[in-house]
Amino acid sequence: MSLVVLILAGAFLLLLGWAQVGILRRRARVRRALEFPSWRTEGRGAGPKGAPTASPAGQASSPRDPSPIYLGSDAETAREIRWDPWRLPNPHFLVLGGSGSGKTQTLKALAWELGRRGLGVVAIDLHGDLDVEGGVTYEISMRSRFGVNPLVVDMDPDGGGPDPQRFIVLRSLKEAFAPLGGNQLAILDQAIQETYRTAGILQEEYDTWWREAPTFRHLEEALDGMIAAAGKERRPAAVKAKVGPMFGYRIFTKPQVPLAETGVTRVDLSKIPSGLQYIAADALCRQLLRRFQMRGPREAEPRMYLVVDEAKLMMPTRKEDPHAILNRIASEARKFGLGLIVASQYSGHLSRDILMNCFAKVLLKTDKIEIPPTARRFMAERDRLVMLLAPGVGLINFGDEEQYATIRVQPYMERIAHG
């Protein structure tokens, strides 16, 4: 009897040891998955479209330099105005301004300065004009080498896997191809589930999450299978016709664009339609936030910045939706070391989460019709907004000041000229 007990105890200890080894391996996988791939290419314009390009100057890769960033000078007193995201309660930055206001030059200046200080910067470029010296550019288009894969699953054992990811993808498709009815969404949901099953990625089996993620090419194959099985039933075919552009452009079937931890990585989405821009940008931003969340809370100092040049194109129909990715980044990302720099032409495109969590605000010149709502939402003086006429001249506040100062922002081109 004692021999049987000893054998059973030994078998139990052996199984326990195997389980511990499995846990350690999973943790090691998670640690490896949290590292961003880093790309650097010297020379400009070489290689196929969509391959990374960088200026010969290169981007700083030195340890992070937490020195305050010079923004410009006070238009009234000539004192220097500096932004210190390492000391502010929240490191996010908002730039508001109409066409010709100097908004793009301000965004490029911020991205360039952060990159020089050794921080990672990912610029989601929806208009095609956020290139900076020393940065790496990935052009996403029909002919590009790289793309975006919205079907990559979150590896968090407690909240990730294919099931949550398919809900995220469905929400994104609903925004990009509105209106999509309940029956159409149900067909897409069924197709996404089949796509993950075919890839062998199952919600209840964590080890399968590490398998290579399917792409929208596999989603198209799943829809084609449903169409073939439907016979005379036309709804699956109608759904495919509705979302057809996301298959035709092939940007969701290519290797995932890599995002470096230092320097400026620009993802140029300007060559694709706005609906596809939304899907691609939403997926990239969610993946970026996920990586930082999985690393766990850090010190308040920012480690990386996301730059978005037009909030309107990334906000859902319900801009106050707490699940909208820009709202989540604005309200949640600070404690994980991820900062946000976001721009908009009109204050009405911005949610409360963005307005409340962006401590640094620069208000550049805007359309006359936009001045009253801007003054109201930002608690700025209307008369001072009216007087903003020159590009790069605006009002600035760092969240803890009663009044706005008038700033002349030093433009990006001037910074480059001075080195």
**pLDDT value for 151:** 97
The 10s digit of each residue's pLDDT in 104-126 is 999 999 999 999 999 999 999 99
Q: How confident is the model at residue 300 (pLDDT cuts 50, 70, 90)?
A: low
pTM of the model: 0.84
What is the 3 state secondary structure string of 167-209?
Answer: HHHHHHHHHHCCCCCHHHHHHHHHHHHHHHHHCCCCCCCHHHH
pLDDT above 80: residue 59: no
Q: How confident is the model at residue 56 (pLDDT cuts 50, 70, 90)?
A: very low
Q: How confident is the model at residue 72 (pLDDT cuts 50, 70, 90)?
A: very high
Average pLDDT on 9-31 reads 51
Average pLDDT on 37-54 reads 39
pLDDT above 90: residue 131: yes
Least confident of 184-193, 230-239, 332-341, 370-379: 230-239
Q: Any residues with CB less than 8 A from the CB of 166 and at least 6 apart, and which?
A: 189, 192, 193, 196
pLDDT above 50: residue 99: yes
- Whether 27 and 115 have beta carbons less than 8 Å apart is answered as no
Least confident of 2-16, 213-227, 340-354: 2-16
Show me where the domains of the chain are located: 53-145+259-418, 162-248
Q: CA–CA separation, 404 vs 396, rounded Å? A: 5
**pLDDT value for 400:** 75
pLDDT above 80: residue 237: yes
**pLDDT value for 10:** 58
Q: CA–CA separation, 284 vs 199, rounded Å? A: 22
pLDDT above 70: residue 54: no
Average pLDDT on 37-51 reads 37
- Domain 53-145+259-418, CATH 3.40.50.300 — does that match? yes
pLDDT above 90: residue 159: no
- Whether 140 and 249 have beta carbons less than 8 Å apart is answered as no
Q: Which of 209, 221, 203, 117 is nearest to 167 (CA)?
A: 203
Q: Pick the residue with more confidence: 61 or 169?
A: 169
Q: How confident is the model at residue 32 (pLDDT cuts 50, 70, 90)?
A: very low
Question: At 359, phi and psi to the nearest 5?
Answer: -70, -40
Average pLDDT score, the chain: 87
pLDDT above 60: residue 330: yes
**pLDDT value for 231:** 86
Q: How confident is the model at residue 40 (pLDDT cuts 50, 70, 90)?
A: very low
Average pLDDT on 12-18 reads 54
**pLDDT value for 39:** 33
- Whether 267 and 159 have beta carbons less than 8 Å apart is answered as no
Q: What percent of the chain has pLDDT over 90?
A: 74
